[in-house]
Amino acid sequence: MRIFAYDANAGEIEFYREFERDHPDVEVVEFFGYPTIDDFTDTHVDVVSTSGAPFGADLIEAAAKAGCRYVCARSIGYDNIDLEAAARCGMRVSNVTYSPHSVAEYTVMMMLMVLRKIRPMLRRFDAQDFRTDGLEGGELAGRTVGIIGAGNIGATLARCLSGFGCEILATDPYPRPDLDTIVTYVDLDELLRRSDVVTIHMALSEQTRHLIDRDALAQMKPDAILINCARGPMVDTAALVDALAEGRLAGAGLDVVEGEEAFSYRDLPTHIVDDVAFARLRAMPNVVVTSHMAYLTREVVRETVQRGFGHALMFAAGEDVPFEIALPDVAD
C-alpha cells in the first residue's frame, strides 16, 4: 500500500517510519506542502492522507486516476476534503479523534495570553524595554466563560476552567449529564451577552459558517475576548477586525483564521500574504494569532498518524472503519 501524506510536519516523520516498520507492505511518501495535480501524474497511490491541506475535486479526480481509493484525514475536521467529488470517484473518507486535552489546554493558554497582554509584553521585552506601564492584565478567575460546543474538547475545557474558579456557560444541542455540576447550558444569544470570554469548539458546516458574525459580535461585551481554536470560517474575520479596531471587543486569540489555507503549514519568508484582514489582525497588540497548531502535541501527532493510516489498512482488509464518513462504495 502506498500512502501520500500531505502537509506533513517534521514531528510526524518518525511515526511514518514507525508505521512502515510495523507494516512492511506500507510505503509512506511525505509531502511537506499541499497536493498538486503533478503529484499524481505517472505514478500510483492507494491512499491520500491530509491534515488540513485542501483536497478539492480536481485533485481527487487526479488521485483517483492514479489508483487512490481512500482518503484518511489526520484530523477531526474534514471540511478541506470535497466529499461529493470523493463519492463520484468511489473513494471512502475517514477522520480521526485524538486527545481533547491538547486543544483544551491550548485554549486556556490563549485565554491567559490575551488577558495578561503577553504579546505587547514580549515585544517590549525583546526591545529591552523593561517597563511595565500599560501591561496590567486581567485574571481568568471569576470570569464568565462561554463555550460554544461542549463535545469532547469543550467538555475537557470546561473541566480545566472549573479549577480557575470560572462561571462556565455552554451551548450545545446535546447537553452532557457529566457536566451538570460545572456548566450551565444556555442559548447562544444569552451566552454571547453574559460571557467575558467566548470560545468556539464546534465543527465547521454551512450552518456554523460565520456563526460569529457582526450581529453576534454586537451582542458581546466590549471588554470581552473571543477565542477560536476550531475552524477559521466560523468567525467573520472582517467583522471581527472592525469590532477590535472600534473598541467593541477587548481582544482575540486565534489559532485559525479564514483563508489560512493560503499560508498555513508553509514556509513563506519572502511571500506577501495578500490578506488585508489577516494583516490587520497580526498588527493588533490585543490579538494573538498562531498557525493552526492547537492540536500539536507529541501525543496527538502519534495518535493521528497511527489512527489515520490504520483506518486505511482496515479499509483495505474489508473491515468496518470507525469514524468513516458515509459515502457510496462506488461512483454514481
Q: Which is catalytic among the residues 88, 231, 307, 311?
A: 231
Average pLDDT over residues 283-294: 94
What CA dihedral angle connects 204, 206, 207 and 208, to 10 degrees?
30
Average pLDDT over residues 18-30: 97
Closest CA to 53 of 102, 106, 5, 1: 5
In terms of DSSP H, where are the helices of the chain?
Answer: 13-22, 57-65, 83-88, 101-115, 118-126, 152-162, 188-194, 214-219, 237-245, 276-283, 298-316
Question: CA 135 to CA 5: how far, in whole Å?
Answer: 44
Q: Which is catalytic among the residues 88, 92, 119, 260?
A: 260
For residue 260, indicate whether it is catalytic: yes
Which residues face 324 on adjacent strands?
94
Cα angle: 267, vertex 269, 272; to 5 degrees: 105
Instruction: Name every residue whose Cβ is closer than 8 Å to that of residue 197 and which is 6 or more positions away in sequence.
Output: 111, 115, 140, 143, 144, 145, 146, 224, 225, 226, 227
**Ordered domains of the chain (ranges, CATH):** 2-98+297-325 (3.40.50.720), 101-289 (3.40.50.720)
DSSP letters of 169-235? EEE-SS--GGGTTT-EE--HHHHHHH-SEEEE-----TTTTTSB-HHHHHHS-TT-EEEE-S-GGGB
Query: Which of the four pLDDT bands, split at 50, 70 and 90, describes residue 266?
Result: confident
Contact present, 204 and 77 (Cβ < 8 Å): yes
State the average pLDDT for the chain. 93
Sheet architecture: strand order including 197-200: 184-185, 167-171, 144-148, 197-200, 225-228, 251-254, 287-289
Question: CA 248 to CA 32: how far, in whole Å?
Answer: 39
For residue 123, indicate whether it is catalytic: no
Of residues 274 and 282, more confidence is placed in: 282
Share of the chain above pLDDT 90, in %: 83
pTM: 0.89
For residue 231, indicate whether it is catalytic: yes
The pLDDT tens digits of the residues spanning 248-262 come to 999 999 999 998 877
The pLDDT tens digits of the residues spanning 80-137 come to 999 999 999 999 999 998 999 999 999 999 999 999 999 999 999 999 999 999 999 9
Own/partner contacts of 13-21, CB < 8 Å, gap of 24 or more, are: 15/301, 15/302, 15/305, 15/306, 16/305, 19/305, 19/306, 19/309
Our measurement of the distance from residue 229's CA atom to the centroid of its chain's CA atoms, rounded to an integer in Å, reads: 6
If you search the block for the grid coordinates 499541499, which residue do you land on?
34
Residue 236 confidence (pLDDT): 97
The pLDDT tens digits of the residues spanning 51-86 come to 888 899 999 999 999 999 999 999 888 889 999 999
Q: Which is catalytic among the residues 69, 88, 194, 292?
A: 292
CB atoms near residue 238 (< 10 Å): 14
For the cut 60, the answer to whether the pLDDT of residue 143 exceeds it is yes
Contact present, 312 and 306 (Cβ < 8 Å): no
